[in-house]
Structure 1
Amino acid sequence: MSTDTDVIDILTSDHRDVTTLIREIHTVDDAVMRRDLADTAISELVRHAVTEEMYVYPAMRRYLAGGDKAVEHDVEEHKELERAMKQLEGADVDSPEFAQALAQLETVLADHIQDEEGEQFPQLRSVVPPEELVELGAKVQAAKRLAPTRPHPDAPNNEVFHKLVGPGVGLVDRLRDKLTHRATAPTPE
């Protein structure tokens, strides 16, 4: 993505990428490929969620009527997504637990995407100055480079935690990914 892409376009593209990866998991029989697809989807979704919490949720609180309530709802969905991703991460790809975690992830993600793309993103686009949306997009892209790549369901889901502790957690996650040869989404440039 270019540096003048706005945050809504970036996050919408993330949604498409993750849902495509999840659809591919259903079509692949090879266990290694299924694991790689699942791990890549997880890493992409974690980075997406963390950067939303860092930059988009503060903008929602500031600009949207009912923004605090919308953010609370979205944070709860992020927690559900993290729990499903943690189960998915630890399950054998041929097990019923993997299928259950994947189904739970898909259900919560579909609702989350509908909330954001159907309501929140259009509202943000109508009230946030375009140059600020582009600035937020650049911040999100930069933050994705340092963000965690693994779910941490017991960690706080807030801007301050992610800005202060997130880069360290991300460094440890990326080191673990490298040492274990875990597939992850490409780091944004």
Structure 2
Amino acid sequence: MGHGGDVVRELTFDHDEVKEYFGQLRAATDGKRRRELADLLTIGLVRHSVAEEEYLYPAIREHLDGGDRIADKEIADHARVEELLKELEQLDPEAPEFAGRVEELRTEVLAHIKDEEENLFPALRHNCRQSELDRLGDRIRRAKKLAPTRPHPGSPSTPPANKLLAPGIGLVDRARDLITGRGKGA
């Protein structure tokens, strides 16, 4: 995940990637493949969410009318998704509950994506200079490289604590992923 462009373009590419994972996950019939796809989806969503919480939402608070309310709602959406990801991580991909949890997650995530793409991103484009959008895109890409790859529902989701803790948690997650082979290709 690191596509280039301004913040809106970068995050929209992430959204498209997440939608693709959901499509592949729905079509997968083998439990091993479902676990691999769920791990890739989790890695992508966690990195994306952490980067938004570190840089996008502070910009929303600064540049949009009602930005605090909007950012708080978005962070609450992320918290719900992170809880679902944590639950999904614990489930056997062959268990009937796995498909139900994936569908619940899909519904939450697609609603969040729709809201961002139809409301939040156009408002941000309208209220920010292109240079600021480009700068945020660069910061989002850097944050995703250092972000955790596993859900950590109890972690701080607002600056400055999230910016201080996320890189360390991310390092531990990436070490665990390397040892276990989780998320190859992510």
Q: TM-score, normalised by structure 2?
A: 0.95
Q: Distance in 2 between matches of 1:18 and 1:30?
A: 20
Q: Percent identity?
A: 42
Give the Å deviation of 1:108.
0.9
Give the Å deviation of 1:162.
2.1
Corresponding position of 2:46: 46
Q: 1:2 to 1:47 in 2, by over 3 A?
A: closer
Give the Å deviation of 1:22.
1.0
Corresponding position of 1:87: 87
Would you say the 8 A contact 1:77–1:112 is kept in 2? yes
Q: Distance in 1 between matches of 2:67 and 2:37?
A: 34
Corresponding position of 1:61: 61
Residue by residue over 1:99-118, the C-alpha shift from the partner in whole angstroms, topping out at 9 and shown as x without a partner, is 22211211111111111001
- 2:135 aligned partner, one-letter code: E
Q: 1:23 to 1:2 in 2, by over 3 A?
A: closer
Report the 3-state secondary structure (helix = DSSP H, G, I; strand = E; otherwise coil) of the residue aligned with 1:159.
coil
Corresponding position of 1:103: 103
Q: Which runs of 5 or more structure 1 residues have no equivalent in the other structure? A: none
Would you say the 8 A contact 2:36–2:182 is kept in 1? yes
Q: Which runs of 5 or more structure 2 residues have no equivalent in the other structure? A: none
Give the Å deviation of 1:28.
1.2
Would you say the 8 A contact 1:12–1:117 is kept in 2? yes
C-alpha RMSD over aligned residues: 1.3
Residue by residue over 1:90-137, the C-alpha shift from the partner in whole angstroms, topping out at 9 and shown as x without a partner, is 111111221222112111111111110010000000111001101110
Moved more, 93-102 or 177-186: 177-186
Corresponding position of 1:122: 122
Would you say the 8 A contact 1:41–1:185 is kept in 2? no
Report the 3-state secondary structure (helix = DSSP H, G, I; strand = E; otherwise coil) of the residue aligned with 1:150.
coil
Q: TM-score, normalised by structure 1?
A: 0.94
Would you say the 8 A contact 2:82–2:151 is kept in 1? yes
Q: Distance in 2 between matches of 1:141 and 1:52?
A: 10
Give the Å deviation of 1:33.
1.2
Q: Distance in 2 between matches of 1:141 and 1:15?
A: 14
Report the 3-state secondary structure (helix = DSSP H, G, I; strand = E; otherwise coil) of the residue aligned with 2:93.
coil
- 1:47 aligned partner, one-letter code: R
Corresponding position of 1:36: 36
Would you say the 8 A contact 2:3–2:13 is kept in 1? no
Number of residue equivalences: 185
Would you say the 8 A contact 2:51–2:140 is kept in 1? yes
Q: Distance in 1 between matches of 2:95 and 2:178?
A: 25
Q: Distance in 1 between matches of 2:58 and 2:185?
A: 25
Q: 1:37 to 1:134 in 2, by over 3 A?
A: same
Give the Å deviation of 1:34.
1.1
Give the Å deviation of 1:172.
0.4
Corresponding position of 2:20: 20
